[in-house]
Amino acid sequence: MRPTHKKRNAGFSILELMIAMTLMLAALGIISAVMSSAFSVRARESRTSDALSTAQAAIGVVSREVSNSGFGLYDDATSKIANNGIVLTESGANRIRIRSNQFNAGGTPTAPGPTTLVLNEPGEDVTYFFDAATNSIVRHDPNGLGIGSGQTSVVVNQISNVTFEYYDYTGGTSVATGPLTTPTRNTGRVRIIVDVNLDPVVGQPDNQRVTFASDVTLRNNSYMLQQY
């Protein structure tokens, strides 16, 4: 009678299991780091896209009215030199006040008349400025809700800063003087710069900023009208 031998099943030693677990944990760590970086980049790009959309929307709204500044206005009834419509004493690096005679009617609520520099219709006397308290671009129209009542509204929020730069044109030259921090009666172009600080993203550098700029030609100022 032959002796019987029990078949021993092959297995892993403790050392082999520890090596395998170490390699697996290292691989999981690498995969986790790669995925975290990918999600961080995705979040950053998403915030950048939102910031650009916000900046473009803000500039689009402001540009439409700034480009019409000075429509129907002139310095005096004798010379009739075109006025660019910018209220010089109330405009600067972070604020601009513009006027235009859109409805071709001047005067005041109590004494209507032909004076084009006295404007009382909605949209004819508008101020844009940056409100640091709410991080917003604000639009103020003293006649927006009807004569004497006024209207102040937020154009767009989540803005970090708004800057207006002014370029002057004089004589027959097409070379502008600027950028200037304050406008003059010769200002023919305004550059609107909107800054948006991006929200912090884990794994990405802090204090990232998106800047979007647009040049707006004041087509009603004296120099521009002479080009046609």
* 160 part of a folded domain: yes
* 7 part of a folded domain: no
Radius of gyration of the chain (CA): 32
Nearest Cα to 156, choosing from 136, 129, 140, 139? Answer: 136
H helix or E strand, kind and range, residue 36: helix 14-67
For the chain of 228 residues, list the mean pLDDT of each consecutive stretch of 10. 57 74 80 71 67 76 89 73 88 93 69 65 89 88 72 80 92 81 92 81 65 87 70
* Full residue range of the structural domain in which residue 87 is found: 46-225
pLDDT at 128: 94
* 77 part of a folded domain: yes
* 18 part of a folded domain: no
CB 23 within 8 A of CB 29: no
Burial of 51 (0-12, 13-18, 19+ CB in 10 A): buried
* 86 part of a folded domain: yes
* 66 part of a folded domain: yes
The pair of structure tokens assigned to 33 is: 């780091």
CB 85 within 8 A of CB 97: no
pLDDT at 204: 59
pLDDT at 165: 96
- pTM of the prediction? 0.72
H helix or E strand, kind and range, residue 43: helix 14-67
C-alpha–C-alpha distance, residues 131 and 22, integer Å: 56
* 157 part of a folded domain: yes
Number of domain units in the chain: 1
pLDDT at 101: 84
User: Which residues sit opposite 194 in a β-bridge?
Assistant: 162, 212
H helix or E strand, kind and range, residue 46: helix 14-67
* 4 part of a folded domain: no
Q: Is the dihedral of CA 84, 157, 132, 44 positive or negative?
A: negative
